[in-house]
Chains A and B, each alone.
Chain A
Amino acid sequence: MRSRGFGGFAAGALVAGAVLWSFATTDVDLSRLLSAGPRIADFLGRMVPPDPTVMNEILKGSAETLRIAILGSLGAVLLSVPLGILASETMVSPVLYRPVRTLLAFIRAIPLILVAMLMVGAVGLGPLPGIIAVAFHATGMLAKFYAEAIDGVSRAPIAALESAGAGPLARLRYAIWPQMAPVVARDTIFRFELNLRESLILGIVGAGGIGFYIQTYVRSFQYDKAASMTLAVIAMVIAIEAINVALRRRFA
């Protein structure tokens, strides 16, 4: 009881300290804070009505985002199959799967937008750096999921097929794969949804897709056009969500 009371006090002090430190070291001038409200309202005012003439750009941008997500996901799947096997406890020795898992955790720790920025620097503007960034970033999660799918397979049917004289390929196809397939399908769809969502904003750092137009319009003060693009992004996120719900129902 005593130690818990002390723990609570320590946590409270830590939070208070963090808030005070942030205030003291950030230049939050009271007058600026008070004028922020009206300025945001003014900014939003200039966004309405959204300019509907950008329909073409919306379609072009969305199609490019979709392409980035599809090709990025394909790249992630291709990378995740071998890496997933190498990260599996049941397929390889600890000497191999431990470092591979560390590598995957390291990849997951790098935010996508950062990878995209680096890739724009490396290969230039356009969808290509976006595709590479999505493939790289998504592999950190997908390969881990694939490894878990492999390790989650029940061993008994595999042993039964081995006892019947089935070779390794036949065991993979008829005992391991049927158990893994639904998990792999579910995880891949889940990661594709994330890829689509996350690649909507990649254009902001110049890596292609609908975000590129939003960034261009904001920088050139065409807020009504930026508003239309933003609404399109919101609509796409909702559509992705709806499709995902429908897919989940089918897989359940």
Chain B
Amino acid sequence: MSAAAQIGDLSFVHQGAGLPALDHVSLMVPAGESTALLGPSGAGKTTLLALLDGRLRGWRGRVSVLGAPLDPDHPPPRAGRPEVGFIFQEFALVERSSVLRNVLNGRLGRMSPVRAALGSPLPRDLEVARAALADCGIADLAERRVDSLSGGQRQRVAIARCLAQEPRLILADEPVSNLDPARAAEILTLLTGAARARGATVLFSSHQPDLARRFADRIVGMRDGRIAFDVAVGDLSDVATADLYRETTALPAIGLRAVT
């Protein structure tokens, strides 16, 4: 099984923070699968995802993403950045721009710098953007301004922008934390479905074990910057899932035992 991301003995302390946000983390994210990063608030999920996206400096350990090693001291080369897509916890959309413009923004890294700055997308860019909108069920919202959308609609725009980027690895930071349970299942269905259709790997964070179990092939538990467990969903019994739930909500950090 090839790895979309390979992490060895990774530690990271945020600037000005006392405790490490990541504490000797080792992890393999299998390519072509969907992996859930499960953990309570402050576990280090956002930190780990941002680091894999090449946005953090000054960490220690070995990290390679899509076969290329990351440099702890320098940002990754721009050419490779579209390969890794990121769906932000707070969406990070340009509020005053249209939905289509926001989705086209996901194409900027795929265009030549001149074309990107001039703002003249090729027919292929428009085609990919329209397809992403359709896959996210928001084709009819293309001309709407983002600041007029609901939370669920914004989440779809954020996913569409990421898909338009045509990434091979999709990092999604709590893509459904702001949604009601029915909406959450809908969004995860379309995210994991679109990724599978494109042969992309998904790593999404969540603090809801039921969603992780339903939409991931693999669940990685995190707590206090450490990996608490790493299991294939097929191996999980109901009892183990209940334990999982306790694992991510209860206070004392204990390893997962009920796995076979």
Contact = CB atoms under 8 A, between A and B. Distances in A.
Interface of A: 156-157, 159-167, 169-170, 173-175, 178-179, 181-182
B106 A164 contact: yes
Most buried by B among A173, A174, A182: A174
A174 B110 CA distance: 15
B94 A164 contact: no
Given A164-B85, A165-B108, A165-B110, A157 B96 contact: no
A160 B92 contact: yes
Interface residues of B, number: 33
Contacts of A162: 81
A173 B119 contact: yes
Contact of A163 (B81, B91, B96, B110): B81
B105 A175 contact: yes
Given A156-B88, A174-B105, A163 B55 contact: yes
B239 interface: no
Nearest to A163: B86
A interface: dominant SS: helix
A162 B109 CA distance: 8
A175 B113 contact: no
A178 to B, nearest CB: 5
A191 B115 CA distance: 35
B125 interface: no
B181 to A, nearest CB: 26
A112 B94 CA distance: 39
Contacts of B106: 164
17 contacts: A157-B92, A157-B94, A159-B92, A160-B86, A160-B88, A160-B161, A161-B105, A163-B81, A164-B85, A165-B80, A165-B109, A166-B116, A167-B78, A173-B117, A174-B101, A178-B94, A179-B95
Nearest to A182: B96
B82 interface: yes
Contacts of B82: 164-165
A162 B86 CA distance: 11
B97 A174 contact: yes
B53 interface: yes
A156 B105 contact: no
B43 interface: no
A167 B111 CA distance: 10
Contacts of B116: 166-167, 169-170
B93 interface: yes
Contacts of B108: 161, 164-167, 170, 174
A173 B88 CA distance: 21
A156 B113 contact: no
B165 interface: yes
Contact of B92 (A156, A169, A173, A178): A156
A101 B116 CA distance: 33
Contacts of A161: 105, 108
Given A160-B86, A161-B108, A163-B55, A170 B113 contact: yes
Contacts of A178: 94, 96-97
A208 B110 CA distance: 55
A165 B79 contact: yes
B90 interface: yes
A179 B81 CA distance: 24
Contact of A159 (B55, B80, B97, B117): B55
7 nearest CB pairs, A to B:
A165-B109, A165-B81, A166-B108, A169-B117, A156-B92, A160-B92, A170-B116
A163 B105 contact: no
Given A174-B101, A174-B105, A167 B81 contact: no
A173 B80 CA distance: 22
Contacts of B81: 162-165
A96 B101 CA distance: 34
A157 B96 CA distance: 11
Contacts of A160: 86, 88, 92-93, 105, 161
Given A167-B117, A170-B108, 4 more contacts: A163-B84, A165-B78, A165-B108, A170-B111
Contacts of A170: 108, 111, 113, 116-117
Given A156-B92, A173-B119, A178-B94, A164 B113 contact: no
B109 A157 contact: no
A164 B105 contact: yes
Contacts of A166: 105, 108-109, 116
Interface string B146-182: 0000000000000001000100000000000000000
Contacts of B79: 165
